[in-house]
Amino acid sequence: MIKIGILGGGSWGTAFASVVADREEVILYIRDKDEVDFLNKNNRNRDYLSDNKLSKNICASTSIEEVCKDKEIIINAIPTQATREVLYKAKEYISEDTIILNLSKGIEVSTMDRISEIVKDVLPNNPYVALSGPSHAEEVIKRLETSVVISSSNEELNKKLQERFNREYFRIYTNQDLIGVEFGGALKNVLAFGIGVARGLGVGDNAVAALITRGMYEMSKFVISLGGKYTTIYGLAGLGDLIVTATSKYSRNSFAGILFGKGYNLEEVEKEIGMAIEGIKTCEAVYEISKKLDIEMPISEEIYKMIYMNQDPNESVKKLMNREIKNEFNIDLQKNDVIWE
């Protein structure tokens, strides 16, 4: 009996299926019957990572019941904005002791919920764990060395899944700061889009380095204000993921930003990418939360204005460079705490 089902047969769902398939069988939920038939016949995902031969331990189905019923672990690889809808469809087939392992990164715009909060609404009694960190599917499926973090408040559960999915090429750390891990994975997409815009405008490496660094400062303020830990943002789920998403040739969010900076409109960007660009939607949620909680996030705010208020990207760069001059950090050395400005 197959013990693990994956909701979502996109690039990351497929790549993680290959990690699972090193040791056991796994079944992918894909809506398109032609895609399912192609994968089951050819051991390839026709639309994602198609150059890579998949293990015979991987199969696919259009039946959400077949993928979810009697499973020990259900892995969510559905884009954030569609996760709630798919989970509602799957709910009747998922038993309460099934572990939900989430791979998606983002904030649901309609509710401002993290994925863990969506799962709590739909499946209130199921154990939940998030996996995050710098892990482009294109490298994971080729077994290139990757390190990620698994997070829930239950360290025993974290260690259980760490042992289950750790591989020679796929190293897993644990972290009990679920808030920090989930928000880190969400915010890095927003910042990577903005950094891509800057690159599309033709800025130099100095500016990119500054945007990454000051972006980290914004991530830290946001995460701490919402109950997460500063240290998490300087770990794999924050700094690590931001670096790879802002600089990698595989990054959808960065490439989308580059196109936007070169003058493409959002419709043209989304058509060119052909997959979900989480940073665009998440940016709206980050903006609304930061305004509600009065968290100063100038880079994220300018990204929002470019996307949703049609502000000229060159104007955003000018505004960021001409903000009031100040200290980089304001630190109370006696308490050794950062006081955010």
Beta-bridge partners for 339: 330
Q: Is 188 an active-site residue? A: yes
Cα–Cα distance for residue pair 278/10, rounded to 1 Å: 14
- Residue from 329, 135, 290, 303 nearest 211 by CA: 303
Query: In degrees, to the nearest 5, what angle opens at C-alpha 283 toward C-alphas 242 and 101?
Result: 60
- Residue from 74, 123, 71, 70 nearest 103 by CA: 74
The residues near 330 (Cβ < 8 Å, ≥ 6 apart) are 338, 339, 340, 341
Q: How many CB atoms lie within 10 A of CB 206?
A: 8
Active-site position among 71, 188, 221, 305: 188
Helices (H), 99-142: 115-122, 137-140
Residue 276 near residue 79 (C-beta atoms within 8 A):
yes
Residues with catalytic annotation?
188
